[in-house]
Structure 1
Amino acid sequence: MTNDPIVEFCPVARALNLVGDRWSLLIVRDAFDGICRFKDFQKSLGVARNILSDRLKKLVESEILETRAASDGTAYQEYVLTSKGTSLFTLIVAFRQWGETYLFSGNEPHSVLVEAQTQKPIPLMQVVNEQGNILLPSEAYVKKVI
């Protein structure tokens, strides 16, 4: 808990406080891509060792990642997503789709997230109501804590 009223009552602020920096989300992204070793995270991200070590520690302490013995029997440890970490998949997909939509020109190459079974691109995520109808921002509001 925090004494900051913005963080204390706002789920978005709490989430950003935990995984809102560039490196944490990119570590989670890489974990979804199967990266699990320190040296492989460092190679993929090009991040300084001290920063990577700090972010991995924070993600483990927050139970987004957990450590386990290396699957190949070596003395190394691996970082793997927990169920709490796996639930960040929708956030990673939403960021990816937003980036694909707004940060690349029409013919600029970029990676594409596809469904493993069909090999087809994942449809654009949408916020829907109980009936499955797409909700516009004007059709929802945040009920603030008083």
Structure 2
Amino acid sequence: MALPRTYESQNCSIARSLEVVGDRWTLLVIRSAFEGVRRFDDFQDALGVARNVLTDRLNRLCEEGIMRRVPYQERPERFEYRLTRKGVELWPAMMTLLMWGDRHYAPDGPPLIVGHRGCEGGLTPQFTCDVCGVSLGPSDVEPRPGPAA
């Protein structure tokens, strides 16, 4: 039996947010977008997701204003998918989930380290650099292989 997609009976912002991003593939599409993936085939290659599932998730993310379709070719017509400001605002939640997973589900160490581009430091739970202390956002960091890569 499938769980309902909506939580209309719950007056809860977490439940409402989960209606939009509370799916494994949706979160992985968003993660890939933060890693610079923009084109449908590249999402599919990176994730190994079925085309129909990816189409559904990208359409939903665009409908919700988390991503937008941007044409990059006219014949045939092709689009890139880019995070909107609303989508970029998910970065702290994604990084918190990554750090939580590293603490609880990475016994050999993190597979990925989010590093500060400016000084090679790492991201702290307060979204600052652990070396120079500056506040960090998505454009200030880059992924690097971790010990369990």
TM-score (norm 1): 0.77
The superposition leaves residues 83-110 of structure 1 with CA deviations (integer Å, 9 ceiling, x where unpaired) of 00000000100000001111011x3451
Query: Structure 1: any 5+ residue segments left out of the alignment?
Result: 127-146
The residue correspondences of 1:82-97 to structure 2 (distance < 5 A) are: 82-97=84-99
Identity of aligned residues (%): 36
State the alpha-carbon separation in 2 of the partners of residues 92 and 17 from structure 1.
Answer: 16
CA 3–14 in structure 1, closer or farther in 2 if over 3 Å, else same? closer
State the alpha-carbon separation in 2 of the partners of residues 111 and 61 from structure 1.
Answer: 30
Q: Name which one, 1 or 2, has greater alpha-carbon Rg.
A: 1
Q: Which runs of 4+ in 1 moved over 6 A?
A: none
State the alpha-carbon separation in 2 of the partners of residues 89 and 70 from structure 1.
Answer: 25
Select the structure that is richer in strand.
2
Aligned counterpart for 1:27 among listed residues 26, 29, 33: 29
Q: How many residues align?
A: 122
Give the SS at the match of 1:112: strand
1:5 aligns with 2:6: no
CA 25–3 in structure 1, closer or farther in 2 if over 3 Å, else same? closer
Query: Structure 2: any 5+ residue segments left out of the alignment?
Result: 1-5, 128-149
Q: CA RMSD in A?
A: 2.2
